[in-house]
Homo-oligomer: A and B are copies of this chain.
């Protein structure tokens, strides 16, 4: 039996703790050896909860720890690119939360650093690991729906983030649609060649005053011929709405939302169910665990990770093209 995979955690916030929990409870072949957080108390609390022997402030103490084989970067977005480069220099494999950066230059530099160093870089597009989306992809690759013609993604949040967050988010396309751009690439197995978008400020005028939008419809053409739409809104009153439909020569597959229970109530007013799961960390709880399980399994086995820095780069490029389409009111080519 081989020795355990030695991991280091950078960032002991919400998502960092989620990943630490996955390592402890679901990845018997891995051990967390160190955790870093700018807040030392947070690092220590995380270390205590998950029995991590070392808690520090400086992420480089984790990255450069010779006992550590791979690092999980769960710190602020603004630190991602720099930490990826540092980890690559140290020869460590990397799991990094999305996005790699908020501009294409930093993204490219970080991805290139991992490539040059020959380390693996997995980006946290967790939805690829969700059972519903994975089933759609399987329907495509297995031929169950024949040759795919059209794809529709609906991705609506239950409520907009605080306006301060919106201001620093890089805009709806880079902050929210980026998940859907990656999903469209994942499900089609192809690269976008053109994007056109219609957008609006419907939910809150303050979002418009911040220079952003809250409603968008993207129409994307993929290299393999698939025509895709992405429907985004920052607010759906009935909750987190995450659905997909793929249609092809042999049929169609569609996925619905996830619910807290399977109950249907019939009363004098209506036939109804409770609202779908409302919080993304509940909705995707299994996907967050599965992406880490697959990361650890790939690193341990010396196999490629399932979502790479190049995937992160491509989704970001689509966000930039969508923004250009919105500003120039025309279809934008990506080739």
Which of B147, B231, B253 is A265 in contact with, Cβ under 8 Å? B253
Q: Is the CB of B252 within 8 A of A262?
A: no
Q: Is the CB of B267 within 8 A of A238?
A: yes
Q: Is the CB of A136 within 8 A of B252?
A: no
Q: Is the CB of B249 within 8 A of A253?
A: no
Q: Which residue of B lies closest to A136 (CB)?
A: B263
Which of B139, B144, B262, B268 is A256 in contact with, Cβ under 8 Å? B262
Q: Is the CB of B198 within 8 A of A219?
A: yes
A42 within 8 A of B: no
Interchain CA distance A198-B202 in the complex, whole Å: 26
Which of B236, B237, B258, B274 is A135 in contact with, Cβ under 8 Å? B274
Q: Is the CB of A139 within 8 A of B200?
A: no
A261 within 8 A of B: yes
Q: Is the CB of A251 within 8 A of B267?
A: yes
Q: Which of A2-10, A149-157, A180-188, A305-313 contacts B (4 or more CB under 8 A)?
A: A149-157
Which of B51, B237, B268 is A51 in contact with, Cβ under 8 Å? B51
The minimal Cβ–Cβ distance linking A301 to chain B, given in whole angstroms, is 22
Q: Is the CB of A272 within 8 A of B271?
A: yes
Encoded as 1 (CB less than 8 Å from any B CB) or 0, chain A from 18 to 44 comes to 000100110010000000000000000
Interface centre among A145, A198, A257 (most CB of B within 10 A): A198
User: For residue A260, which residues in chain B have a CB less than 8 angstroms away from its CB?
Assistant: 131, 135
Interchain CA distance A262-B202 in the complex, whole Å: 28
Q: Which of A99-107, A108-116, A221-229 contacts B (4 or more CB under 8 A)?
A: A221-229
Q: Is the CB of B237 within 8 A of A268?
A: yes
Q: Is the CB of B149 within 8 A of A152?
A: no
The minimal Cβ–Cβ distance linking A264 to chain B, given in whole angstroms, is 5
Given contacts A25-B25, A253-B263, A270-B273, 7 further A-B contacts (CB under 8 A): A139-B263, A200-B225, A202-B225, A238-B252, A253-B264, A272-B273, A330-B330
26 pairs, A vs B, C-beta closer than 8 Å: A25-B25, A28-B49, A51-B51, A135-B261, A145-B265, A146-B237, A150-B231, A150-B233, A152-B229, A156-B247, A200-B225, A202-B249, A203-B249, A217-B229, A219-B219, A236-B247, A236-B251, A236-B266, A238-B271, A251-B266, A252-B265, A252-B266, A254-B263, A255-B263, A256-B262, A270-B270
